[in-house]
Amino acid sequence: MTLHARLVVTRPAFTLDIDLRVEPGEVVALLGPNGAGKTTALRALAGLTRMSGGQIGLRGRPLHTLPAESRPIGMVFQDYLLFPHLSALDNVAFGPRCQGVPKTEARRAAAALLERVGLAGRAAAKPRQLSGGQAQRVALARALAVRPELLLLDEPLAALDAHTRLEVRSQLRRHLNDFDGVTVLVTHDPLDAMVLADRLIVIENGAIVQQGTPGEVARRPRTDYVARLVGLNLYRGLADGTQVKVDELLFSTADSLDGPAFVAFAPAAVALYRSRPDGSPRNLWQATIDGIERHGDNVRVHLDGPIAAFADITPAAVADLDLTPGQRIWASVKATETHAYPA
């Protein structure tokens, strides 16, 4: 039931061209900034957006030649698109009915699915009477009711508030685990992607820029966008042994390699000093404070200078150092907290 696809969609000033290979039971998240083309990719898989080229194969059968209604898919839309005039039960029974299942049987199957997502008591409710989290679960049940081989989820949690999101996310993870077909989901939220997916595919400007397990992507970002998502400072340089040259700065790192390389370190690993520290620690540079903002329990300092960087320090440290924007300051990061990997 492997999904094997090359999706090409050409629009004025935008081209999507990506290769996808997803195994049965695997959950792949397409992650990317707004306008990167991830929803377009999902719509192309569903048959809702015409492809300019490429092909889609599912279990060796071509899918791209079929109209949306003939594809073995189930789709959960960002704002769910539950049919407002039908009850939750009839929304879920809609797909089976379209496949020719008799009414009573379709409704029985729908009731069983609603029970599985914990909504047996809301079967008669109209979509407008459901909470966001409930609507999301009905949408999932509706998509699963057609027994799809390919499950597509477009920003499945984006419309939920933070609290509901936490709860629905873990439930969704469980349902995706139980699903033995191919799952492709689209999100711009790194946390959703990390929790829900077995593998991340990062899309920027219509092309894949990085893919791997959530752990790999989080540890070794390859673009500024991914680095920002996972909260790391990221630079591209030239490695020579345990040293990486980034512009004029020479970074000492824990890893040894040669050639073009990325250097990444966490903002919390950056230490700040008012005057040049004694003993000249390595990886030291002079920076200008560009901005200071709250970041969780800490304070995030934006540094400008030979390299742009974020430093996370405690509010107490901000007070001790008496930091103000525009101020010159020394910054350093330990070699053991600096990771280098091939670019």
Name the residues that contact other proteins, by CB under 8 A. 46-48, 67-71, 73-75, 77, 81, 83-85, 94-95, 98-99, 142-143, 145-146, 152
- Shortest Cβ 79–other proteins spacing (Å): 8
Of 81 and 292, CB closest to other proteins: 81
Of 77 and 225, CB closest to other proteins: 77
CB 223 within 8 A of CB 210: yes
Of 65 and 99, CB closest to other proteins: 99
Of 45 and 269, CB closest to other proteins: 45
Of 81 and 191, CB closest to other proteins: 81
Q: What is the CA radius of gyration of the chain?
A: 24
Alpha helices in the chain (DSSP H): 38-46, 88-98, 103-116, 132-145, 162-178, 190-196, 214-219, 224-230, 315-321
- Shortest Cβ 58–other proteins spacing (Å): 14
**CA 28 – CA 250 distance, rounded (Å):** 37
> Who's near 191: CB < 8 A, 6+ residues apart?
none
CB atoms within 10 A of CB 72: 16
- Shortest Cβ 84–other proteins spacing (Å): 7
Residue 51 one-letter amino acid = M
Q: What angle do CA 21, 56, 195 make, to 5 degrees?
A: 40
Of 145 and 270, CB closest to other proteins: 145
Q: What angle do CA 282, 287, 292 make, to 5 degrees?
A: 120
